[in-house]
Chain A
């Protein structure tokens, strides 16, 4: 600062002018690496997938370099595949089932933890553990719990005489999807609790105090005060839930691999199988583009509801 007080005003102006031009360049350099990374890791894959979905892109392509254009043939092949309707239905059931329960249980727990009590904060942060574990670790753990003959769940249920025969949680086409949804609910609850809890914390206490004077307590306070004030956060949580859940792959691959008898195939697992098991990259890309399109519809709601949160 001492040095600057000695320079003249005119000199300072000159330095500033020169500096500004150099500075625009410096500012660009702050953003450039991230911009390049985002284009390479998101822009390129999206464009590449669009192109691949219009090509006959298979294992052969890697040797011959030839990927003939086939128009919309890949889309028509995957849509007419006998598994497509099942995969769509499973994706919808998986997404809706997971989110409905994660949200309701998450909201219940968030409301519970709003009560101030000893160890409350510690217990609430420990609750995050299922969300932080690698998904494949959770899958392995649940595989052992749900194991048909010796898993602890069936042993307990039979010990308590709730069921007479072991339930084939992951081995029967009729219950596997329910089991997979159950595990995904377990993984998603902590995330819902954390976000909803922070939404609840932002509702001013005065509102409840004023409500109490008007006789709004308990359930009435929830309906008239809590829910209206939580709506925008709830919207964000639900849309995030959809966008994240619809593309879940790890958990299903780890638990059932899409089986038994394709009972847990979703668009994401089908896309994976087409590309990396059958090496029909064109068809895999077509399926994943359908997935993106669905998520995009939800994202329009999502962006609308998060705009406020981003501006904040």
Chain B
């Protein structure tokens, strides 16, 4: 009886916390207009908001997708060997490396944006997808190292040693043994890198100066910039941009808390 009461209270808490998310979906299904006259339920849902969102922001969604995928590949390629080294090699450099990662978390994105803007301006990476991928790795790499390392700490050294006795080099043992066994943590790290990059707004805002490359977060910001003309299109774009987060939560539920905790050890 008491346990049921707890469940009811839990559902109420969740309903309050997720109300804005519900409201985003509700508002996205309303007819177009610059006022928000939506009732509590979308009794007459229309998809005109989504049609407009896809027309105006479809390309930006694709841009965001490419940038996020690129960030995942580059972040994991760089972070995975390093995470392995920090978990298995015995050296005083390990604690120095970890300290560097801790300190990196204190550096505001605007500092990175300032420096990258001047550098990109010189080497022609402003308004480019590779430029944004590299910038987004600043959130992907440290996080991926921490998550992967916390998993790899639990790998018994005997696992790799067995392969080494067979004559495999360190690198081959890493690829053949460590990578396959770390699949779950690689997925977790990859999903988070994707999400960080997908959510990025600061680099999109500062490292693009003209319309060519425009991630969807910037598209939403520009919708909000002027007087909002069509709330349903804005909210439909918001819903579409929220899909990766929702998919992540459903598909990788158990990894997310682990990721949040692993990342907090930062």
Contact = CB atoms under 8 A, between A and B. Distances in A.
Contacts of A271: 108, 110
A130 B256 contact: no
Contacts of B99: 303
B125 interface: no
B166 A1 contact: yes
Contact of A276 (B205, B253, B256): B205
A242 B38 CA distance: 37
A42 interface: yes
A171 interface: no
> Which of A45, A123, A291 gathers most chain B CB within 10 Å?
A45
A123 B11 contact: yes
Nearest to A267: B108
B245 A129 contact: yes
A172 interface: no
Nearest to A309: B265
6 contacts: A26-B171, A112-B10, A130-B17, A194-B261, A299-B106, A310-B98
A139 B224 CA distance: 9
Main secondary structure of the interface of B (DSSP, over half): helix
> Which of B109, B110, B249 gathers most chain A CB within 10 Å?
B110
B195 A116 contact: no
A30 interface: yes
B81 interface: yes
> Which of A109, A142, A247 gathers most chain B CB within 10 Å?
A247
Interface string A113-136: 101111110010111111111111
B220 A272 contact: no
Interface of B: 3-4, 6-7, 9-11, 13-14, 17-18, 20-21, 23-24, 27, 35-38, 77-79, 81-82, 84-86, 89, 93, 97-119, 121, 134-135, 137-138, 141-142, 145, 165-167, 169-171, 174, 195, 198-199, 201-202, 205-206, 217, 220-221, 223-224, 228, 231, 234-235, 237-238, 241-242, 245-246, 248-249, 253-254, 256-257, 260-261, 264-266
Contact of B141 (A37, A48, A62, A137): A37
Contacts of A151: 36
Contacts of B174: 30
Contact of A27 (B170, B220, B249, B261): B170
B111 A49 contact: yes
B114 A48 contact: yes
A240 B13 contact: no
B201 A135 contact: yes
Contacts of B231: 144
A27 B170 CA distance: 8
Nearest to A62: B121
B78 A33 contact: yes
Contacts of B253: 125
A125 B14 contact: no
Interface residues of A, number: 99
B264 A236 contact: yes
Given A128-B257, A141-B24, A48 B205 contact: no
B104 A42 contact: yes
B81 to A, nearest CB: 4
Contact of A129 (B98, B221, B246): B246
Interface stretch (A80-88, A220-228, A248-256): A248-256
Main secondary structure of the interface of A (DSSP, over half): helix
A46 B167 CA distance: 44
B11 A249 contact: no
Interface in A4-52: 4, 19, 22-23, 26-27, 29-31, 33-35, 37-38, 41-42, 44-46, 48-49, 52
A138 B221 CA distance: 11
A41 B112 contact: yes
Nearest to A244: B105
Contact of A1 (B18, B165, B249): B165
A134 B224 contact: no
A140 interface: yes
> Which of A119, A129, A268, A309 gathers most chain B CB within 10 Å?
A129
Contact of B89 (A27, A44, A135, A198): A27
B238 A194 contact: no
Contacts of A136: 199, 201, 217, 220-221, 241
